[in-house]
Amino acid sequence: MVLPVSVIALGFLLYQFFSERRRRAFFLSYAGAAVWGWMMPVAAGLIAFLLSTSVFAVVTMVLRDAGLVQLSVPDCASCQPDVGDMLAFYIWHFLDAIPLLNVTETLRWDVPLTYSGALMGWLVLAFKAAVIIPLIQAVRTYLQVRKEAPRIHFRPWAWRRAAWVGEAVRIRWAKAPPPDGYVYDVRVTRPSGAIGRGDMEDPWLSDTTQPSATYTKLRPKGTYAFSVMCRERELAESTLTSKDLKVVVREVGDAAVTDRRDASTKG
């Protein structure tokens, strides 16, 4: 019962990773949940890796017991491979397939098992095609989506994000313009200045491709919350949204404003 359930779960995860469109949709569905949202795709990839190696190891063990495949431990003719050896065998092939890193060679890790016969060769090829390639592509897509996600910053950098009334502050939300077809929307929630009205939302910038800008409306005093959304130009919403960055604005002479001579404010 465990093996069929594992196969179904593995198939679902790999289905999400097989095409670029599904990978992006899968990662973007969690992107709006800050740090934990970005950890979810990593956890899904790790689960897919553990499931795939376990499923292929068990299947290989069943085929070996049935006499359909032949495996042996190098330099040990009398040793019988167990499930641990099978897991190590597939983990070795996964690491060996990572381009450019030469992981197994760097670690001086020789292949745990050797095999003979075409069926075992086809099983290894199936593991590489169905598991290794989609996971490597998933990592590539994850890093690309992560790069596109806006991360809002206050310049000059300071632990306490504070400014004076009437001062201009530089806000940066990306290292470079967004990919082709994408734009940024930057919103500010600011004090209204009117008694009893509370905070108001100011759509500061819309449909911009600039990675940073200077905000000059720090009046009246209070807390200003900046947020950025990166979206496709044709769409109204996106899950690529930054966490709020809050800047405390005070009148000149108020306490608890970061000293501009403090080294921590150097950008």
Examine the domain organization and report whether 140 and 161 are in the same domain: no
Examine the domain organization and report whether 15 and 115 are in the same domain: yes
Examine the domain organization and report whether 209 and 232 are in the same domain: yes
Domain finish residue from 89, 121, 148: 148
pLDDT score, position 86: 92
Q: Which of 26-35, 93-102, 164-173, 193-202 has the lowest mean pLDDT?
A: 26-35
Examine the domain organization and report whether 121 and 176 are in the same domain: no
Total domains, the chain: 2
The yes-or-no verdict on residue 265 having pLDDT over 50 is no
Domain finish residue from 103, 126, 148: 148
Judging by beta carbons within 10 Å of its beta carbon (0-12, 13-18, 19+), is residue 224 exposed, middle or buried?
A: buried
pLDDT band at 37 (very low <50, low <70, confident <90, very high): low
Per the listing, tokens 């381009």 go with 99
Examine the domain organization and report whether 89 and 160 are in the same domain: no
Tens-place pLDDT, residues 172-196: 888 888 878 889 999 999 987 655 5
- Which range, 130-134, 165-169, 251-255, has the best average confidence (pLDDT)? 165-169
Examine the domain organization and report whether 6 and 114 are in the same domain: yes
Give the domain range for residue 187: 153-265
- Which range, 21-30, 112-121, 258-267, has the best average confidence (pLDDT)? 112-121
The yes-or-no verdict on residue 264 having pLDDT over 90 is no
Question: What is the mean pLDDT of the segment spanning 74-91?
Answer: 89
CATH of the domain at 171: 2.60.40.10
> Is the pTM of the predicted complex or chain greater than 0.75?
no
Percent of the chain with pLDDT over 90: 23
Examine the domain organization and report whether 142 and 159 are in the same domain: no
C-alpha separations of 185 from 84, 149, 202, 225, 228 in Å = 52, 12, 11, 14, 6
Examine the domain organization and report whether 207 and 232 are in the same domain: yes
Tens-place pLDDT, residues 210-238: 989 999 988 888 999 998 888 888 888 77
Examine the domain organization and report whether 79 and 168 are in the same domain: no
pLDDT band at 138 (very low <50, low <70, confident <90, very high): confident
pLDDT score, position 157: 46
pLDDT score, position 261: 35
Examine the domain organization and report whether 167 and 137 are in the same domain: no
Domain finish residue from 132, 148, 164: 148
Question: What is the mean pLDDT of the segment spanning 151-170?
Answer: 69
Examine the domain organization and report whether 128 and 200 are in the same domain: no
The yes-or-no verdict on residue 50 having pLDDT over 80 is yes
Is there a contact between 171 and 214 (Cβ–Cβ < 8 Å)? yes
Examine the domain organization and report whether 142 and 160 are in the same domain: no
